[in-house]
Amino acid sequence: VRYNNTLAIIFLFGILYSQARQPDELPIGLTEEEKNNIHLIYEMGRDTDPPVAPVRNIAEYERMSGVLIRYPFGISLDIIRELAEDLIVYCLVSSSQQNSALNSMNNANVNTNNVEFITGPTDSYWTRDYGPWWVVDGNSNMSIVDFTYNRPRPNDNDAPLKTSQLLNVPYYSVDIVHAGGNYMTDGYGTSASSNLVYEENAMSNDALDNLMNAYYGINTYHVIADPNNTYI
């Protein structure tokens, strides 16, 4: 699959999820139960060959074709309605809830001609953290390069694979535990994360940096202490 222009699905920033969390929804951080199941994270990983070099990681501020959300929603229908006026809204939803999602959007006058459903179960609405990361590979193909979500939430972890299947784009996966909220890239081979990424992966810092280079084309990876000393 080739794209003449740079197209990317980006994920709604954390500020869009700042509304009060529903009591039956998982928080952005680990629950007490999840803290006892950390081992599950390391059982969710996939590992494929890297994309054909040279690889360029798409930055979040670049031209995009859509946004990725999840139903039940973590953002307001007002925001979804505005988004659907200008671009495609890709909505992760279980098959049993798809009609409910569609009815909610129709009732809010969302332009559902610009909505595409990605069917399958999810664990939470934090798509910014578990959604796919995009690259342009050496064949000029827009591709997804996945990572292992740093929460024991296997359904969320499957979202990038499901997205690649819907869009019919190449899928790759690197066996690194990470989270989208702990990653920024400039689209020119430089990225930044907190040192949580080093702490959560049982490999040397150099080995992880080499994987980031092979799979994402990152030549300079700034890994620093969490400036807020709270969480990522």
What does the pLDDT average to over 82-108?
A: 98
pLDDT at 228: 77
pLDDT at 149: 99
pLDDT at 180: 96
pLDDT at 223: 98
pLDDT at 174 over 50: yes
Superfamily of domain 9-179: L-arginine/glycine Amidinotransferase; Chain A (3.75.10.10)
- Closest by CA to 121, choosing from 173, 72, 165, is 72
Rounded to whole angstroms, how far apart are CA atoms 85 and 78? 11
pLDDT at 8 over 50: no
- Closest by CA to 215, choosing from 183, 162, 1, 12, is 183
What three-state secondary structure class fits 166? helix
pLDDT at 1 over 50: no
Of 4-13, 53-62, 75-84, which gets the smallest average pLDDT?
A: 4-13
Which residue do the tokens 């928080």 mark? 27
- Closest by CA to 110, choosing from 74, 136, 82, is 82
Contact of 78 with 21, CB cutoff 8 Å: no
pLDDT band with cut points at 50, 70 and 90 for residue 4: very low
Note the residue count of the chain: 232
User: What is the rounded average pLDDT for all residues in the chain?
Assistant: 91
Rounded to whole angstroms, how far apart are CA atoms 189 and 59? 10
Amino acid at 223: V
Locate the domains of the chain by residue range. 9-179
Tokens of 30: 């680990």
pLDDT at 65: 85
Of 13-17, 44-48, 77-81, 151-155, which gets the smallest average pLDDT?
A: 13-17
pLDDT at 227: 78
Q: Exposed e or buried b for every residue in 180-194, given b needs 16+ CB within 10 A?
A: bbbbebebebebebb
pLDDT in tens, 141-167: 999 999 999 999 999 999 999 999 999
No. of helices (H) and no. of strands (E), the chain: 8, 11
pLDDT at 23: 64
